[in-house]
Amino acid sequence: MSDASGPVGLLFPGQGSQRVGMGKDLAEAFPVVRWTFEEADDALSFNLSRLCWEGPEEELTLTVNAQPALLVHSVAVWRLLEERQSLATIAAGHSLGEFSAYVAAGGMEFADAVRTVRRRGELMLRSGEERPGTMAAVLGLDDAVVESVCQQASDAGDGVVVPANYTAPGQVVVSGDVEAVRRAEPLLAEAGARKVVPLNVSGAFHSPLMASAEEGLREQLESVPLSDPRLPVVSNVTGEPVKEAATARDLLVRQLTSPVRWVEVERAMLEVGLEECWELGPGNVLAGLMKRVTRDVPTRTLGTVQEIDQFWGRG
């Protein structure tokens, strides 16, 4: 088990971290993980487990499938850790991962969360079909410069482009109407961007183009009970810890059209004096991003049997 004696932060990955085979080795090794995947299958009335473990990749990557898949894997790891009374001080999740954080913090029941993020994925996909958009990663510019260029590109013609994800210092993702994002790309290069990378996405996430999904998600969240989380969950929208269910419900809806302020999220977590962080679920994206903010707080990735065995001193 970890030798951390001080505060521990939990990090839950978002869309893009999914991969075929996710959670399979854990389910074969630990009953609580297997039961968690089975509970998700029952909640959704389809075999999400098989899709996670066998693919096909193009189906798993679909927004409606990737979101519940990631939540299930992350929560399964948290339940496994809880069996050994692993305690945490604060939690956060990247976009979809914020729902995983609320489950771990006791703010939302697991089955309700699985159905909710499945519905969230459906709504986001529909919004992307109704108003097609795209996204691009911008490397090497200050946030204020990216914001200014987005405004310039939006004012120059039809459509809108906005910062959608403050991923790391010097790394921002922009999102919006296709024509507006395309107008912004050369302007960003002229402003000194080291690289502008178009992203292969099904919609302009975390932008005004997702507005049509808000009402449906609000209705879904109002149909399920939320509790005050046992530990604070740092909001993507505000970069501040949330401790009340009503605030969580509002911010989870607003998150659809608001930028992910991930750097602010990380800094808010660090303010509690973390000794280490654990990224729960597939991959190590958030561990890498935390290193961009500080190298003083180590981040463990816990998503495979090998990683769990090493964590528990068995590997």
Q: How far apart are CA 179 and CA 123, in angstroms?
A: 23
Q: How far apart are CA 303 and CA 279, in angstroms?
A: 8
Is 274:90 a contact under the CB 8 Å cutoff? yes
What pLDDT does 1 receive? 47
Cis peptide upstream of residue 259 (ω within 30 degrees of 0): no
Q: How far apart are CA 190 and CA 159, in angstroms?
A: 21
* Token reading at 4: 């951390």
Q: Which residues contact 63 (CB under 8 A, 6 or more apart)?
A: 15, 121, 124, 125, 202, 203
What domains does the chain contain, in order, with CATH numbers? Answer: 8-128+209-311 (3.40.366.10), 133-202 (3.30.70.250)
In the chain the first and final C-alpha atoms are separated, in Å, by: 11
- Among residues 17, 49, 74, 95, the one annotated as catalytic is 95
What pLDDT does 6 receive? 76
pTM for the model stands at 0.96
What pLDDT does 84 receive? 85
Is 160:149 a contact under the CB 8 Å cutoff? no
Residue 239 gets the label, from left (phi > 0), alpha (psi -120 to 50) or beta, of: left
What pLDDT does 94 receive? 98
What pLDDT does 87 receive? 78
- Among residues 206, 207, 235, 258, the one annotated as catalytic is 206
Is 27:308 a contact under the CB 8 Å cutoff? no
What pLDDT does 86 receive? 72
Is 297:7 a contact under the CB 8 Å cutoff? no
Is residue 95 flagged as an active site residue?
A: yes
Is 175:207 a contact under the CB 8 Å cutoff? yes
Tens of pLDDT, residue by residue, the chain (315 residues): 445 567 999 999 999 999 999 999 999 999 999 999 999 999 999 999 999 999 999 999 999 999 999 999 999 999 999 988 777 999 999 999 999 999 999 999 999 999 999 999 999 999 999 999 999 999 999 999 999 999 999 999 999 999 999 999 999 999 999 999 999 999 999 999 999 999 989 899 999 999 999 999 999 999 999 999 999 999 999 999 999 999 999 999 999 999 999 999 999 999 999 999 999 999 999 999 999 999 999 999 999 999 999 999 865
